[in-house]
Chain A
Amino acid sequence: MTRLSDQDTPDIEAAHREAQDLLPWLVNGRLDGAELQRVQAHLDTCATCRADLDTLYTLQDVADLPPPDLDVDKAFARLLPQLDAAAPVHAAPVIPGWRTRLAANDARWLRAAVGLQFCAIIVLGTLLVRPAGDTQMAAQVAVQDDAYRVLGAEAGADSIVAVTFKPDTPEHELRRIVTASGARIVGGPTVTGAWMLGSAQAPADVAARLRTESAVTLAEPLGVQAGP
């Protein structure tokens, strides 16, 4: 057996103290580098630390509790209304740049895309009803007549809300959500998967009701469009 010099003894005691402090993180695998090497080297020579290590493994094995019995879906549904009240604090995003700007949920992007779509619809609609031949005059009169309505259209201004649903939302659920929000589908789905809803009610109110539905992933009021 090697006889320890007086100089070696403090080193061994220091190594023992360090190992005792660090054993918990050897057990959970979070020790690395020089610390890991020193603790492992000490364990080779210290029966006390080896026994303590076994004990800590036992404690880790036996004492973890199963997660409490909580319903994540219900808890999330309870939180949803608070998300509207507590809008995110805007600061420089962690990942700025093209990925953020191109994200399909970016409201600025979505508004621009929807605006362009409406412009295209209006242009196409104008071309469609543009009078031709003998029927021109009659059609013009009809268009100028205030009483003229596209079938199913309502009088007055229409608020427009863009909404997206979870991909696995069944059709009947989608219908229920739209009806419950007091709106109707007037367009979509767009290339981004968004539906356009029209309503005689304020767009912010419709969007707020839609956001309480767990199947709704985005509801964005887009403003009011003049009625026909």
Chain B
Amino acid sequence: MERGFDARPAEARTEHDETELIALVATGDRRAFETLYRAYHPRLARFLQRMTRSTPLIEEIVNDTLLVVWRKAATFNGSSKVSTWIFAIAYRRACKSLQALDEPVDAGIDEREGIEADRPDWQLAQLQLTGAVHAALAQLPLAQRTAFQLTFYHDMSYTEIAEIMECPVNTIKTRLFHARKRLAVLLEGQIEVRS
């Protein structure tokens, strides 16, 4: 039974393919929705884990987001990329959930101390640096951290990030600038950060 959607791995899919998937979802096609769900579940979970350390909450926000995608696929008008549209929904849902719970909007700081006792020095140094950067990022205000994360770990343009966070492009640039300044202070002596 050959169907009109793309079952290739997410990384092989193009923007055009994703737009077709959304069109099929708009007609109520569950298989197309499942394909989209499996492509975006890990991406959104990775994005959200810097906003909350609660795994059940991450899953709830991911499912809420993709349920909105299921219901509102027909309203997607192609003026932005599919990924921008979906991440914008996820960001709004996450902000709303965290506000409702009154949860401090800090990220899950990596707590993996003690597992690297037998590693070579250079690997140990790398792990320590990684831990320090995670901790420093967790201390950034949510808006700066989100802009930083979407730039460096989701490879988004400043225009896309501005759409997701619903603010002007210059605000995004300013947030990144301040994030780097703050990281420079927090990581002083551990990494060369100048701004």
Same assembly? yes
Taking CB as reference atom, which chain A residue is nearest B127?
Answer: A62
CB under 8 Å from chain B, chain A span 15-52 = 20-22, 24-25, 27-30, 48, 51-52
Interface size class of A (residues with CB under 8 A): 35 or more
**What is the 8 Å Cβ interface bit string for chain A, positions 170-188, against chain B (1 contact, 0 not)?**
0000000000000000000
With A30-B155, A67-B45 in contact, do A75 and B72 touch (Cβ < 8 Å)?
no
CB distance from A112 to the nearest CB of B (A): 16
Residues of B within 8 A of A28 (CB): 151-152, 155-156
A217 close to B130 (CB less than 8 A): no
**What is the 8 Å Cβ interface bit string for chain B, positions 25-62, against chain A (1 contact, 0 not)?**
11111110110011001100110011000010011001
Taking CB as reference atom, which chain B residue is nearest A216?
Answer: B30
Asked whether any CB of chain A lies closer than 8 Å to the CB of B142, the reply is no
Asked whether any CB of chain A lies closer than 8 Å to the CB of B94, the reply is no
Residues of A within 8 A of B19 (CB): 94-95
B29 close to A105 (CB less than 8 A): yes
CB distance from B114 to the nearest CB of A (A): 18
Residues of A within 8 A of B151 (CB): 24-25, 27-28
Expressed in whole angstroms, the Cα–Cα distance for A104 and B5 within the complex equals: 11
Asked whether any CB of chain B lies closer than 8 Å to the CB of A3, the reply is no
Tell me which of B30, B55, B194 contacts A83 (CB under 8 A): B30
Comparing A84-92, A143-151, A197-205, the segment that makes contact with chain B is: A84-92
Expressed in whole angstroms, the Cα–Cα distance for A192 and B46 within the complex equals: 38
Tell me which of B28, B71, B134, B195 contacts A20 (CB under 8 A): B195
Asked whether any CB of chain A lies closer than 8 Å to the CB of B78, the reply is yes
Residues of A within 8 A of B152 (CB): 24, 27-28, 56, 59-60, 63-64
Tell me which of A65, A69, A95 contacts B50 (CB under 8 A): A65
Tell me which of B30, B33, B72, B157 contacts A89 (CB under 8 A): B72
| Residues of B participating in the A interface, judged by any CB pair closer than 8 Å | 1-4, 19-20, 22-31, 33-34, 37-38, 41-42, 45-46, 49-50, 55, 58-59, 62-63, 66-67, 70-78, 108, 110, 126, 129-130, 133-134, 137, 148, 151-153, 155-158, 173, 176-177, 180, 183, 191-195
Provide 7 A-B residue pairs closer than 8 Å at the C-beta atoms, listed in order of the A residue: A30-B158, A59-B193, A63-B134, A70-B45, A79-B63, A88-B27, A91-B75
| Residues of A participating in the B interface, judged by any CB pair closer than 8 Å | 20-22, 24-25, 27-30, 48, 51-52, 54-56, 58-60, 62-70, 72, 75-76, 78-79, 82-83, 86-95, 99-100, 102-107, 164, 167, 192-193, 211, 217-218
